[in-house]
Structure 1
């Protein structure tokens, strides 16, 4: 890519904005355009997550998630410090609530050390020094974990892009396009956009945009809603920082955890249930087209058969406030029946292979002049600046 090239980025979440920012930092004379179908930035995965700056504890050593999360967290916290973005490095506890989890806790400790993290094994008494109200028979303390305001991060990136002369076009949806031998042509709801190369960071719609532009992605996005609840003002002081359960390697997601954000609110969640629309933030958000796409995908049914028991448990927890409270009470026994209130949900864009396996790492595919980021769930926000560095180096 020459310094005077034209680059268009599709998607105005934190990853798309970071890619655009990286292009202009590496090649200031590049003509950069960012297309976002919403009227504002960071409206979906970025603006609806728990705000955690992940350490890279859970990811297999050598994976892109492990490497980019570690490097991305460093870059992200540096940016937050330079730009006075609300953030805090709080550390977190991963707690075993019964003896049967101690072996998994030890395995997680080994993985953390293999990923270069400062992981400290704690006894039950030591864990209570960090979180006096948490139930634990043992724990890990991971110092390099924190929280940040991701919407504020995006606001800074948007400001920097404007100052660098980028063309920012919210309210512009890609509806088609073609990749010629000389340029990429994108058809949008606000006219035609041409570029030398394009980067698609479309999150929940990444596979759809790929197909619109002539690529046949190797995966399909299946949307999973993560529902959160907030601790009341009375209960919030029971949690000082970040508290996670020991993950079960047989299950696809981490499980309900507790997060004190930069605003002082404590969130509990998320669970994980199939969303009935790609932007299905409640049970009432239903898209017949989205649902037909999910139910018509063989990979979804293979995934469902593999995890039908855990899926049923997640569904029950979604429909029953009592069950959700009980799951939180495993970590926080003093939680009362009236100590949780509803909070905004998020939807995770999870790439699923045709054989029904979840894509467990970031996935980037290239088709002609277009680079497609096809799997970027958590910890993509943490790793966003490092993802951008990698993508731009490939242009």
Structure 2
């Protein structure tokens, strides 16, 4: 979209000597009404009352993708490299999320969790994880088998660590409350507004053309002008960055996380949250057991490449998404580097028996008959050109733009401090 006729931004608006600014529809446009986008809008309205903020969301409501399709765990920050954005934001965010839920009457509970070693080769990694947690300022206690069974009588393992600050909540409800609070402070939320085109003038701002999802792109549609744009588009964040004329350092590869529920009659087998010792080579935590705020016990997820950016089941395939991924060298490098790990994940995806075997490492009493299919999620995982999985939050800037390019778990936990950090960046640009 270029030129005055298409964008509505006069070419002379930023010329030296002009005493007035062009007629903006908003000061800041936020793309994406997941929990990070809404936390950013909330932070902007709190930091600068009167700032005109508009959130653009292609779906009919908030939090319908990553935010609304997870197990609802408030992560403590025990896994993340000390000093990283994930570590700092998760530790701070866990505390703030509990306070936010308490203040707003959102169901939540600080349950603590166990990370369990089931094999002797995992013991050094478990000890290192405990040390990392302490470096991050997290209360961690190392447990032997007897102490572990006091917490979780049906769980089997050689040793465990107890992380007291982990909790659970309904992140969809948190996102809804953030949306209401931002709107009460003057922000506008526009649903059914898919970003199709972005025109950026470095001396002026951005003009964004939107359309209804599924609508044929005929080059027409509402245009909004703003001084700056914040990209919190999750699964589509790299595409929004490219539309704005920026070249993101990483691209999104979607991974589907598949879950089961433990059937209701067997839910007493798990009291709280139980995790395996993670493989440090991957950003995935492995199949774990989590009793959610709804009382159901979630089993999973595994992690398999999704055949569409929003491919929540094996039947959903997007030829354009697949071609886009296959054209990227990072995807091929990733596949070559980690094909053995990927083969195991694929086996668990295709075989309930294999998935049950993974669960039985922690919970030997479970059987295939105890598993009930549950809704899947898709993780927007950023991958570099060399196939490296980005293991920290990634936020990049361009003229009049701030792009959140990697914000998978624990982004929901850390959404309040992430929102403030992104808001600070865009306010500095303004």
Counterpart of 2:224 in structure 1 is: 193
Counterpart of 1:240 in structure 2 is: 271
Question: In structure 2, what is the Cα distance between the partners aligned to 1:349 and 1:6?
Answer: 28
Does the 8 Å CA contact 1:9/1:199 hold for their aligned counterparts? Answer: yes
Choose the corresponding residue for 2:383, options 332, 352, 366. Answer: 352
1:301 Cα deviation after fit: 0.6
Note the residue ranges of structure 2 that are not aligned, 5 or more in a row: 1-24, 212-220
Cα deviation code 1:17-51 (max 9, x no counterpart) = 00000000111110010000001110000000110
The reply on whether 1:183 has 2:205 as its aligned counterpart is: yes
1:199 Cα deviation after fit: 0.5
1:100 Cα deviation after fit: 2.0
Does the 8 Å CA contact 1:54/1:145 hold for their aligned counterparts? Answer: yes
Does the 8 Å CA contact 1:251/1:310 hold for their aligned counterparts? Answer: no
Does the 8 Å CA contact 1:223/1:348 hold for their aligned counterparts? Answer: yes
Counterpart of 1:108 in structure 2 is: 129
Cα deviation code 1:206-248 (max 9, x no counterpart) = 0001111111111110000000000001211100000000012
Question: In structure 2, what is the Cα distance between the partners aligned to 1:112 and 1:73?
Answer: 14
Counterpart of 1:165 in structure 2 is: 186
Question: In structure 2, what is the Cα distance between the partners aligned to 1:248 and 1:77?
Answer: 28
Question: In structure 1, what is the Cα distance between the partners aligned to 2:40 and 2:280?
Answer: 32
Question: In structure 2, what is the Cα distance between the partners aligned to 1:22 and 1:281?
Answer: 31
Q: Which 10-residue stretch deviates more, 216-225 or 94-103?
A: 94-103
Counterpart of 1:387 in structure 2 is: 418
TM-score by length of 1: 0.98
Counterpart of 1:249 in structure 2 is: 280
The reply on whether 1:227 has 2:248 as its aligned counterpart is: no
Choose the corresponding residue for 2:363, options 332, 347, 350. Answer: 332
Question: In structure 2, what is the Cα distance between the partners aligned to 1:337 and 1:196?
Answer: 55
Question: In structure 2, what is the Cα distance between the partners aligned to 1:62 and 1:379?
Answer: 15
Does the 8 Å CA contact 1:316/1:323 hold for their aligned counterparts? Answer: yes
- What is the count of residue pairs matched by the alignment? 392
Counterpart of 1:82 in structure 2 is: 103
SS at match of 2:264: coil
SS at match of 1:226: strand
CA RMSD in angstroms, aligned pairs only: 1.0
Question: In structure 2, what is the Cα distance between the partners aligned to 1:142 and 1:383?
Answer: 17
Choose the corresponding residue for 2:312, options 281, 296, 311. Answer: 281
1:250 Cα deviation after fit: 3.0
Counterpart of 1:131 in structure 2 is: 152
Q: Which 10-residue stretch deviates more, 163-172 or 342-351?
A: 163-172
1:253 Cα deviation after fit: 1.6
Cα deviation code 1:279-319 (max 9, x no counterpart) = 00000000000011111111011011110001001001100
The reply on whether 1:120 has 2:151 as its aligned counterpart is: no
CA separation of 1:252/1:162 partners in 2, compared to 1, >3 Å: closer, same or farther?
Answer: closer
1:252 Cα deviation after fit: 4.0
Which ranges of 4 or more aligned residues in structure 1 deviate by more than 2 Å? Answer: none
Note the residue ranges of structure 1 that are not aligned, 5 or more in a row: none
The reply on whether 1:371 has 2:392 as its aligned counterpart is: no
Choose the corresponding residue for 2:167, options 143, 146, 150. Answer: 146
1:5 Cα deviation after fit: 7.0
Choose the corresponding residue for 1:58, options 79, 92, 105. Answer: 79
Counterpart of 2:302 in structure 1 is: 271
1:159 Cα deviation after fit: 1.2
SS at match of 2:413: helix
Cα deviation code 1:88-128 (max 9, x no counterpart) = 00000000112221111111111111111110000000000
SS at match of 1:259: strand
SS at match of 2:323: helix
Question: In structure 1, what is the Cα distance between the partners aligned to 2:96 and 2:368?
Answer: 41
Counterpart of 2:326 in structure 1 is: 295
